[in-house]
A and B are shown apart, each in its own frame.
Chain A
């Protein structure tokens, strides 16, 4: 009985860490949770849990003075871990449950706030440790240019040219156009991309002179399931009509 109760107490103790991790990784560009090994999973459940318990305990201590209520975790934990019979467990369990509910709520909020802070401070672009798992977001948004290993900055990007090789029936088709929109899937991948003013050609026409032909309409949606590969190029574009040299023109 004591072992079962202690296990339940332990599970409730690490639950805030799991909640924090789920909340932190809940946005669509980080949604895919991979199993990274038992030791790693236990560490990333336990480590945030301990921090969340510290923060929540400090909040409760601060709240005691403001809202005038009594709360002391020490006797609850000492009875749960070291001593106590069934009746005592019953008495302290409700208090412990209230406390854990509070910690889980704090963890949920802290997870979402942490993600927003990391995104706001651009830590996920600067440090690999904070990077989210969906690479498509970084690649298609241009935030990829903020990675330390890549020169230039995403703020300079004024035009994204995309070459998409797709498979349509038995033919391979290449679309080229300006990337203006993309949708990420719930599984942590890509769902579709939208190109503006695109042209297309068959892959087999690679050596022809005027191989691209225009597509009527300005926007074309390409589902990811038809895409074989994508080539993305980022351009800085500026109108310099007032100060140009005629000899340098293309």
Chain B
């Protein structure tokens, strides 16, 4: 009853592809993000981010 290897591998679902710049921006501002949510600009785009849980 040894599990197949694909049971052990878990890809985290990605709703959308995020650019490296977007991830770095989120890392930089992560301490300011809370359950209320924050809005930030990156290039010509504006994002809303909210902490869950």
Please determine whether A159 and B49 come into contact, CB atoms closer than 8 angstroms: yes
CB within 8 A of A184: which of B10, B14, B24, B40? B10
Q: Which residues of B contact A167 (CB under 8 A)?
A: none
Please determine whether B40 and A249 come into contact, CB atoms closer than 8 angstroms: yes
| Nearest Cβ on chain A to B40's Cβ, whole angstroms | 4
If A159-B18, A234-B51, A234-B52 touch, does A244 touch B1 (CB 8 Å cutoff)?
no
CB within 8 A of A156: which of B9, B30, B33, B52? B52
| Nearest Cβ on chain A to B46's Cβ, whole angstroms | 4
How far apart sit A241 and B42, CA to CA, in the bound complex (Å)? 10
Q: Which residues of B contact A125 (CB under 8 A)?
A: none
Interface size on B, residues (CB 8 A): 37
Q: Across the two chains, which residue of chain B brings its CB closest to A151? A: B53
If A140-B10, A249-B46 touch, does A218 touch B20 (CB 8 Å cutoff)?
yes
- Quick one: which of B22-53 are within 8 Å of A by CB? 23-24, 26-27, 29-30, 32-33, 37-41, 44-53
Please determine whether B53 and A237 come into contact, CB atoms closer than 8 angstroms: no
CB within 8 A of A236: which of B10, B16, B52? B52
User: For the complex, would chain B's binding face be called helix, strand, loop or mixed by DSSP majority?
Assistant: mixed
A133 within 8 A of B: no
A197 within 8 A of B: yes
| Nearest Cβ on chain A to B35's Cβ, whole angstroms | 9
CB within 8 A of A28: which of B3, B30, B44? B3
How far apart sit A45 and B40, CA to CA, in the bound complex (Å)? 56
Please determine whether A240 and B7 come into contact, CB atoms closer than 8 angstroms: no
| Nearest Cβ on chain B to A208's Cβ, whole angstroms | 15
Residues of chain B touching chain A, judged by Cβ–Cβ distance below 8 Å, are 1-3, 7-12, 14-16, 18, 20, 23-24, 26-27, 29-30, 32-33, 37-41, 44-53
- Interface CB pairs A-B, < 8 A, 5: A158-B15, A182-B10, A186-B3, A236-B49, A250-B40
